[in-house]
Structure 1
Amino acid sequence: MTVASTALIVGSGALPRHLAEALRRKGETPVVAALEGFPPEGLVPDLCFRIERLVPFLRELEQSGVSRVAFAGAVSRPRLDPSLFDPLTAQMVPRLIAAMQGGDDATLRAVIGLFEEAGFAVAGVADLAPDLVPGAETLCGAPTEADVRDVARAAAIVEALGRVDVGQGAVVAQGLCLAVEALPGTDAMLDWVAATARRPDPRGAKGVLYKAPKPGQDRRIDLPTLGPATVRRVAAAGLAGIAWEAGGVILLDRAAMLAEAGAAGLFLWAREP
């Protein structure tokens, strides 16, 4: 196995590859450990693991020289096989089940706690690759006054959703909420808006997508993510642009996002919370 001080605990999607590439540009080759059943895009894992064998996996990381971990990529709750538990991991089951019953945020906090108790520092994407998490700026285009009002309305909705651990995004047009993000995710929300949503005034503001972390969320894990595919879906939904909480959202392939947004006439705005 590759010997490195940092391990990326990864799931599916493009984020693990982007984070691994950012670390390699800084001269570090991380250990890439994928949860079985959730392979990352364009990245070959150094090892795969199962939740039922978590303690042996943590020991393997320690023996490989890992002292710091970061989480990247999408996973859903895996179905656990009781026959695969080792005795030490089995002792963690009540704690994990209790956390899962408390919602996604509680589950993620429990996962972080397990890694920290095993002696690993837990880093966020912003710690390892700050360029992926931009601060306040307008990257492309410019929102109108009506867009700014819609973004403010969407931000209030997303904050309310986050307080009950539901989602991290909303679409608002002309002050009305067209859709909110729930379990199916951002892509499904935008596809629904493209297929069904109608604005009260066809000549009025087109609407915006807004994304932000949940209030009180541990920002070392599960930050919202935007990428070129999001820009294409926003354009297909007929929206005016995308805004997000500055410092709280990951951008995948910024150059491609800017190119897509410029071609579609959309604004991209990292908004000060």
Structure 2
Amino acid sequence: MPSRIGIIAGRGDFPLKVANYLKSSGEEIFVLPIKNSAKKELSDFPHKWIRLGQIGLGIKTLRRNHCKDIVIIGGVDVPNLWFLWPDFGSLKLYLRLIALKIKGDAAIIKEVINFLEKDYDFKVIGAENFLQEAVMPKGFMSGVNLNEYHIKDIRLAKINCKEIGLKDMGQACVVSEGSLIMSEDLKGTDAMLQKIIKNKKKFKKKGVLVKLMKPQQDIRVDMPTIGLKTLLQVKEIGLAGIALEAGKALVSDKEDVIEFAKKNNIFIYGFEKDEFI
């Protein structure tokens, strides 16, 4: 039987887009959708549903279906490791994570990739290879210019994102008029923005949301992502815009995001690595 590409699928639209892209390209695929996270439409492809702690079962299934290359795409809610209930095949990885006292997403993902590649000889491929239309480009996706206040806020936000990233706490923060409003924690960007919304402070077209890859993060998995939900929250808060690193972030629902951003005068800007430093 010819080799297949395996897809370990979490929540969101991207796993389905990757599956459809690979199928339309003539690739044979096999999907491992994560229960309570992945979309039910993934059942239309050759698949086996697994829960988050069943990595051992997942590995056996991928091998049985001749998968050598693997794409890991889509978010999952990682519980406290003590409540993960690993199967026997996951026990080695589980004990390794406990021993290292790993808590942050980037560290967990790095260890999972090492486990799959070094212990089981899989090759993990970045999903961005199959989602080029969703990769954040350089420059403006919406908007036409940044004023001096936007630039100062983006600069400060980049510094803060690197700091929280090194601590493996988050990828995002909100800065307005030179002040840090809030940083993302392990609960994610949506939770951070909801906290700001609950504070009932409106920024009146000032301030920015910046998302940045953690310095130690593996680009193949868990790239910073925004979507229409992000834009709805940004509008409710009253921020001027969003800034992401070009080539290292994904935009879900891209056409809807651009239309909404332009309609509501929200800029979306892709900066280069060394820009605004």
TM-score band by shorter chain is 0.7 to 0.9
Is 1:265 the equivalent of 2:265?
yes
Number of the residue aligned with 1:10:
9
1:182: Cα distance to partner? 0.9
Number of the residue aligned with 1:188:
191
Number of the residue aligned with 2:23:
24
2:257 alignment partner, SS class: helix
Deviations 1:144-203 (A, max 9, x none): 22112211111111011101111100111101111111122211222222332647xx77
Equivalent residues of 2:8, 2:31 under 8 A apart: yes
Match of 1:125 among 107, 124, 127: 127
Number of the residue aligned with 2:213:
213
Distance in 2, matches of 1:263 and 1:223, equals 27
- Return 5+ residue gaps in structure 1 as ranges: none
2:67 alignment partner, SS class: coil
Number of the residue aligned with 2:67:
66
Is 1:153 the equivalent of 2:152?
no
1:48 alignment partner, SS class: coil
Distance in 1, matches of 2:259 and 2:53, equals 43
1:141: Cα distance to partner? 0.6
Number of the residue aligned with 1:104:
105
Equivalent residues of 2:106, 2:216 under 8 A apart: no
Q: Which amino acid is the alignment partner of residue 55 of structure 1? A: G
Moved more, 61-70 or 99-108: 99-108
1:42: Cα distance to partner? 4.5
Is 1:136 the equivalent of 2:135?
no
Number of the residue aligned with 1:81:
85
Number of residue pairs the alignment of both structures matches: 266
Equivalent residues of 1:17, 1:41 under 8 A apart: no
Distance 1:81 1:164, change over 3 A: closer
Distance 1:268 1:24, change over 3 A: farther
Equivalent residues of 1:243, 1:269 under 8 A apart: yes
Distance in 2, matches of 1:230 and 1:42, equals 23
Distance in 2, matches of 1:40 and 1:170, equals 28
Q: Which amino acid is the alignment partner of residue 40 of structure 1? A: K
Distance in 2, matches of 1:95 and 1:247, equals 32
Equivalent residues of 2:104, 2:186 under 8 A apart: no
Q: TM-score of the superposition, structure 1-length normalised?
A: 0.87
Number of the residue aligned with 2:42:
43
Q: Which amino acid is the alignment partner of residue 223 of structure 1? A: M
Deviations 1:97-120 (A, max 9, x none): 234535322211111012113121
- Over the residues paired in the alignment, what is the CA RMSD in angstroms? 2.4
- Return 5+ residue gaps in structure 2 as ranges: none
